[in-house]
Structure 1
């Protein structure tokens, strides 16, 4: 082996040496980040296979839960709505004017019947604003109004926490998609969560909107990061399953990074698609009119189970939405997968081990 003297080494100019040093520094930095970045938590339990129930308008019996068991679901989300008007500092709940399934008695009975049917329950209160306005935009102008509203809303959440405790519901979701309220009034929410834990001793989550969850200020106080997963996937009229899987990738990377950051597993408190054209462009929309497309709804479910369901940080998912009350005409509601091709996909997906 011939050893070269220093004077015989190949010449290297200053710019090249500087570039190599910078490259080496960058590589070292990447290796450091890769070694120190926390991994997302792995959820080791049985994934929650669920559907969000539409509160029945009339009393029910256990027969209405058989179709849910037939799609291999093991959970239901019981959803008792409360009501308010935009700009007004009052919140109304559990009144005689509501559907039977939204009263205290109806909520508790629905949970009891679900348990009798062998299903687990997430109790998941929702707010309904005015004529269907987005709850995340709800706002008030004065501190006095906020304090009044917080008293009413806090009573609503705590009343449902008591129902969750008395009926032994397996999971309590404290509220749903109150983006502006959550961001502006974080101390209220942290105090409310402490009050809830004094009443209900099971795990807690909150159903945050797909584009707000990274800004939620109180994930550290909860057990699961809850996301209503209406992520935009494709602007095509009827994209292929493969296109929809690709549409998920960026969102899944962000969700995984967030799970690693907060060290909490993620539960899809809602996911679903309408049986219409362009259903995966803006999946959160519900009040426009588009041509029926049941095949796209089924394909969107297929893409979900292929691309999303296997993620190890995913606690599970609750499909939106499932009707219990009679008479049943699910084709009129675009989101429901019932009696459509999507129901078969849901059954197959939930049947996976």
Structure 2
């Protein structure tokens, strides 16, 4: 009986079909369907002294369900040392006294205030770099990297222990240190492993809007965390419709990443200044501001209109919410007040959406 040899052309066709099928299967992962609650939260501004116990009542009344407690640690540009309340002398903070809201005691009491209102809590450590931006934190020498990493690891693990002891609902291990994360992926992957040994709850990381898709460790976390300052419109007073159109590209990119990792996307920060052109460069906080309440209100409305039907969207945290009465937005429209929706038409927009 003679051997039968397959036609070489048929073989090539079969191999090509197999390759096409494999590529298609890799590119067609189904959208992630988040079945958990949709977070309606705000990033709290840690106050220098203890506020009234009822300070979070207004957030709850607006329909908010979560708060992010944001204790800062500090460094200087090109200095391989990192300081926080656990490794520096008492009384030192940005050249002054340690703020109440950033101390372990202040964090614990803030958590108690939130729970008294029925609010859940995300603990979200942040870096304040003097003389530069934490977004660009990097070193040239290996010894400097190792020195900074030793300090920073202590900071994150100390807050992991605090999160575990307080039974925090969600721990955001770090905010916007993306350049650091891309330069030292092994450090970060091991840090996440070490955090999980201490804290048993859900984990995320707050990535900047322009680098979130490059980070190498989303598979190790529970949420893809994004500080969502995407540019949407250059108009002076952008309409809701214009900004919904502006969301189309970011939504497609977020959906792709969510599907690839099969994880929900959480906006660890989102916010807009009550200024002209608020949606052109939402991340800019130090440029001149011509007050524009309508622009801010429209931006919040557009975000929820654009994201509301996305199955992978887990909600998010407004930037930012003041706890002390004297710090809240007033008629003088101070620079520090511009992002906050408190006492502005934007707060009414959030209330209407959150209470649906």
Q: Distance in 2 between matches of 1:234 and 1:31?
A: 39
The alignment partner of 1:298 has SS state of helix
Q: In 2, are the aligned partners of 1:62 and 1:114 still within 8 Å (CA)?
A: no
Q: In 1, are the aligned partners of 2:272 and 2:296 still within 8 Å (CA)?
A: yes
> 1:72 matched to which residue of 2?
63
> 1:349 matched to which residue of 2?
353
> 1:116 matched to which residue of 2?
116
Q: Distance in 2 between matches of 1:31 and 1:236?
A: 44
Q: In 1, are the aligned partners of 2:322 and 2:328 still within 8 Å (CA)?
A: no
Structure with greater Cα Rg: 1
| Residue correspondence of structure 1 range 127-276 to structure 2 within 5 A | 127-131=127-131, 133-276=132-275
Q: Distance in 2 between matches of 1:60 and 1:47?
A: 28
Tell me by how many angstroms 1:220 deviates.
1.0
> 1:12 matched to which residue of 2?
none
Matched, 1:45 2:44: no
Cα gap change, 1:232 to 1:60, in 2 (>3 Å): same
Tell me by how many angstroms 1:31 deviates.
12
Q: In 1, are the aligned partners of 2:74 and 2:129 still within 8 Å (CA)?
A: yes
Q: Distance in 1 between matches of 2:162 and 2:38?
A: 24
Q: Distance in 1 between matches of 2:73 and 2:233?
A: 33
Which sections of structure 2, spanning at least 5 residues, go unmatched?
1-15, 92-96
Tell me by how many angstroms 1:309 deviates.
2.5
The alignment partner of 1:255 has SS state of helix
Tell me by how many angstroms 1:41 deviates.
1.3
Q: Distance in 2 between matches of 1:148 and 1:30?
A: 48
Q: In 2, are the aligned partners of 1:171 and 1:202 still within 8 Å (CA)?
A: yes
> 1:59 matched to which residue of 2?
50
Q: Distance in 1 between matches of 2:22 and 2:302?
A: 33
Q: Distance in 2 between matches of 1:107 and 1:140?
A: 31
> 1:321 matched to which residue of 2?
320
Q: Distance in 2 between matches of 1:151 and 1:31?
A: 43
Tell me by how many angstroms 1:218 deviates.
0.9
| Residue correspondence of structure 1 range 86-125 to structure 2 within 5 A | 86-94=77-85, 95-96=90-91, 97-125=97-125
Q: What per-residue deviation string (whole Å, max 9, x for no partner) do you get for residues 274-297 of structure 1?
A: 000011000000001121001100
Question: For the aligned residues, what is the CA RMSD?
Answer: 1.9
Tell me by how many angstroms 1:61 deviates.
3.7
> 1:14 matched to which residue of 2?
none
> 2:72 matched to which residue of 1?
81
Q: Distance in 1 between matches of 2:328 and 2:145?
A: 40
The alignment partner of 1:234 has SS state of coil
The alignment partner of 1:46 has SS state of coil
TM-score norm. by structure 2 comes to 0.88
Tell me by how many angstroms 1:54 deviates.
0.2
Q: Distance in 2 between matches of 1:338 and 1:64?
A: 12
Greater CA drift, 334-343 or 306-315: 306-315
Q: Distance in 1 between matches of 2:189 and 2:342?
A: 38
The alignment partner of 1:62 has SS state of coil
Q: Distance in 1 between matches of 2:145 and 2:327?
A: 40
Q: What per-residue deviation string (whole Å, max 9, x for no partner) do you get for residues 156-188 of structure 1?
A: 111111111111110000000001100001111
Matched, 1:289 2:284: no
| Residue correspondence of structure 1 range 323-342 to structure 2 within 5 A | 323-330=322-329, 331-332=333-334, 333-342=337-346
